[in-house]
Amino acid sequence: MATVSLKSIIKKFDETQVLYDINLDIVDKEFIVFVGPSGCGKTTLLRIIAGLEEATNGEIEIDGVNVSSAHPIERGISMVFQSYALYPHLNVFENIAFPLRVAKLPKLEIEKLVMRAAETLQLTDRLKFKPGQLSGGQRQRVAIGRSIVRNPKVFLFDEPLSNLDAALRGEMRVELAKLRKSLDATMIYVTHDQVEAMTMADRIVVLSEGKVEQFGTPMELYHRPKTKFVAGFIGHPKMNFLKVPSLSANSKGISVELPEIGEQLLPVETSAKEISGDLEIGIRPEDLKLSKTAKGLPMKVEVMERLGSSTLVYGSVSLNHKFCALLKGDALVGEGETIKLVASPSSFHVFDSNGDAMRRREVPEVIN
């Protein structure tokens, strides 16, 4: 059992505040990902959970016990860093065994625990190698091995894959997913990469400038982003945004004026407050299609990427709004052309002037 609760966590470095009132309840055995741009406070929050950094205000509970002032070792957690921090002069076996030697465990017990971790991480045939003789992925596995042997209740990972090349990152994502099943522990994983967040998390915490923007399952965040920030951060290629005039609102949704399409009713819940002036709409590249008629959002194609199964088209809509569309692999499009794009009204996202999303009425059933 290991639940983790953060209550009103605030962190200031001198006068600079970097975390604002963070409240999170993490369930036993959940895989939680903290995601957000560089500098948003992910590492600081993880270090506060680990006990390596003290919160300016607020409390941390692990398994219902307040550990806010407990020493890192007493918290039953283990942290894997981006820099693997292996001892270069020790072989793989000794690197993994290191925390157990420090804890003065009996020799046979150490051997048993290291062998079991090495097996889980497929390092059995590398135990005599020094870190310098290993690939990046193997080194990262050794670092993970060193945290597994301590049998922590909670694993903390800080961008453990960001030093690896793209192909290896993909492989390690799958490895971590498997490892997670065999370890059966609560995991908190920090990354700036939304693909890692989407593929590995049970639930994602999106952070921006020290605040929680949204906490939810990957598909909730994808289909129902609460803010423009989350909408733009989750999903690849990124959501397109366009400022449009709003015309009217009723119980079915809100009518906006789309370039060259004209009035379009978008099925969102409008709040009681009067909606007037400009709104921002969001459309994901994968929701756009080539129009079969002359009517559609006109997009001037600047760059095309033919990926085989699909074609990515980059350009601009309404003068300077950068746009991207994910079209079929053999879509009849050429650079320099102006194409007409359409999307189902239910696929649009609508944001008010504060960047808050209006709740969409028609959303595919969210699978978790």
Ligand X SMILES: Nc1ncnc2c1ncn2[C@@H]1O[C@H](COP(=O)(O)OP(=O)(O)O)[C@@H](O)[C@H]1O
Amino acid identity for residue 362 in this structure: E
Q: To which H or E segment does residue 271 belong?
A: none
For residue 47, which of 17, 19, 20, 66 has the smallest C-alpha distance? 19
**Residue 45 contacts residue 19 (beta carbons within 8 Å):** yes
> CB of residue 366 vs Mg ion: minimum separation in angstroms?
29
> CB of residue 158 vs ligand X: minimum separation in angstroms?
7
Closer Cβ to ligand X, 42 or 223, answer by number: 42
> CB of residue 268 vs ligand X: minimum separation in angstroms?
31
What beta strand segments (E) does 88-193 contain?
Answer: 154-158, 186-191
Binding stretches for Mg ion (CB under 5 A):
43
Q: Which residue bears the tokens 């309404």?
A: 318
Closer Cβ to ligand X, 230 or 339, answer by number: 230
Neighbouring residues of 336: CB distance < 8 A, sequence distance ≥ 6: 300, 301
Neighbouring residues of 112: CB distance < 8 A, sequence distance ≥ 6: none
For residue 345, which of 322, 324, 361 has the smallest C-alpha distance? 361
For residue 48, which of 5, 91, 16, 87 has the smallest C-alpha distance? 5
User: Which of ligand X, Mg ion, none is residue 39 near (CB under 5 to 8 Å by kind)?
Assistant: ligand X
How many residues form the binding site for ligand X (CB under 6 A)?
A: 10
Closer Cβ to ligand X, 20 or 314, answer by number: 20
Residue 44 contacts ligand X per CB under 6 A: yes
List the one residue from 43, 78, 186, 347 that touches ligand X (CB under 6 A): 43
Amino acid identity for residue 53 in this structure: E
Residue 240 contacts ligand X per CB under 6 A: no
Residue 257 forms beta bridges with which residues? 263
Q: Which of residues 2-41 bind ligand X (CB under 6 A)?
A: 13, 18, 36, 38-41
Closer Cβ to Mg ion, 159 or 352, answer by number: 159
Residue 205 forms beta bridges with which residues? 34, 215
> CB of residue 222 vs ligand X: minimum separation in angstroms?
22
Q: To which H or E segment does residue 321 belong?
A: strand 321-328
> CB of residue 335 vs ligand X: minimum separation in angstroms?
37
Name the residue number minimizing CB distance to Mg ion. 43
Closer Cβ to Mg ion, 207 or 317, answer by number: 207
> CB of residue 41 vs Mg ion: minimum separation in angstroms?
8
Residue 227 forms beta bridges with which residues? 356
Q: Which of residues 188-207 bind ligand X (CB under 6 A)?
A: none
Closer Cβ to ligand X, 53 or 63, answer by number: 53
Q: Is the dihedral of CA 131, 136, 138, 144 positive or negative?
A: positive
Residue 87 contacts ligand X per CB under 6 A: no
As a whole number of angstroms, the distance between CA 286 and CA 292 comes to 17
> CB of residue 159 vs Mg ion: minimum separation in angstroms?
6
List the one residue from 32, 42, 235, 327 that touches ligand X (CB under 6 A): 42
Q: What are the residues binding ligand X (CB under 6 A)?
A: 13, 18, 36, 38-44
